[in-house]
Chains A and B, each alone.
Chain A
Amino acid sequence: MKYGLQFRDVFAAWEFLLEGLAVTLVLSVCTMVLGFFLGLACACAKTYGGSRARQAVTVYIETIRNTPLLVQIFLLYFGLPSLGLRLEGFDAALIALVINLGAYSTEIIRAGLEAIPKSQIEAGQALGLTPWQIFRYVIVFPALKAMYPALSSQFILLMLATSVVSQISVQDLFHVGSIIQSRTFRDFEVYTVIGAIYLALAFLMRGVFAVIYRQVFAR
Chain B
Amino acid sequence: MIREFGTGDIVYLVFAARWTLALTALAFTGGAMVGLVLAVMRISSFAPLRVAASIYIQIVQGTPLLVWLFLFYFGLSIAGLPVNAWTAAAFAYSIYGGAFLGEIWRGALIAVAPTQWEAGASLGLSYIQQMRHIIMPQAVRIATPPTIGFLVQLIKNTSLAATIGFVELTREGQLTSASTYKPFAVYITVACIYFLICFPLTQWSRRLEERFNVAR
Q: List B contacts of A71 (CB < 8 A).
A: 159, 170, 173, 187, 190-191, 194
| Chain A nearest Cβ from B181, distance in angstroms | 8
CA gap between A204 and B186 in the complex, in Å: 39
What does the 1/0 interface line of B157-201 toward A look like (CB < 8 Å)?
101101100000010011001000011101110110011001100
* Among B63, B188, B190, B198, contact of A160 (Cβ-Cβ < 8 Å): B63
Q: Is B86 part of the contact surface with A, judged by Cβ < 8 Å?
A: no
| Chain A CB within 10 A, most for which of B59, B62, B78, B195 | B62
CA gap between A78 and B159 in the complex, in Å: 16
Number of interface residues of B (CB under 8 A): 38
Binds B, one of A61-69, A116-124, A133-141: A61-69
Interchain CB contact under 8 A, B157 and A160: no
Q: List B contacts of A65 (CB < 8 A).
A: 152, 198, 202
Q: Is B64 part of the contact surface with A, judged by Cβ < 8 Å?
A: yes
Q: List B contacts of A81 (CB < 8 A).
A: 183
Q: Is B67 part of the contact surface with A, judged by Cβ < 8 Å?
A: yes
Q: Is B150 part of the contact surface with A, judged by Cβ < 8 Å?
A: no
CA gap between A81 and B159 in the complex, in Å: 22
Q: List A contacts of B59 (CB < 8 A).
A: 199
With A67-B195, A67-B198 already in contact, the answer to whether A194 and B190 are too (CB < 8 A) is no
Interchain CB contact under 8 A, A79 and B184: yes
Q: Is B82 part of the contact surface with A, judged by Cβ < 8 Å?
A: no
Q: Is A90 part of the contact surface with B, judged by Cβ < 8 Å?
A: no
CA gap between A174 and B190 in the complex, in Å: 25
| Chain A nearest Cβ from B214, distance in angstroms | 17
Interchain CB contact under 8 A, B170 and A199: no
Q: Is A130 part of the contact surface with B, judged by Cβ < 8 Å?
A: no
Interchain CB contact under 8 A, B188 and A79: yes
Q: Which residue of A lies closest to B74 (CB)?
A: A187
Q: List B contacts of A63 (CB < 8 A).
A: 195
Q: Which residues of B contact A (CB under 8 A)?
A: 59, 61-68, 70-71, 74-75, 78, 152, 156-157, 159-160, 162-163, 170, 173-174, 177, 182-184, 186-188, 190-191, 194-195, 198-199, 202
Q: Which residues of A contact B (CB under 8 A)?
A: 3, 62-63, 65-72, 74-75, 78-83, 156, 160-161, 163-164, 166-167, 174, 178, 181, 187-188, 191-192, 194-195, 198-199, 202-203
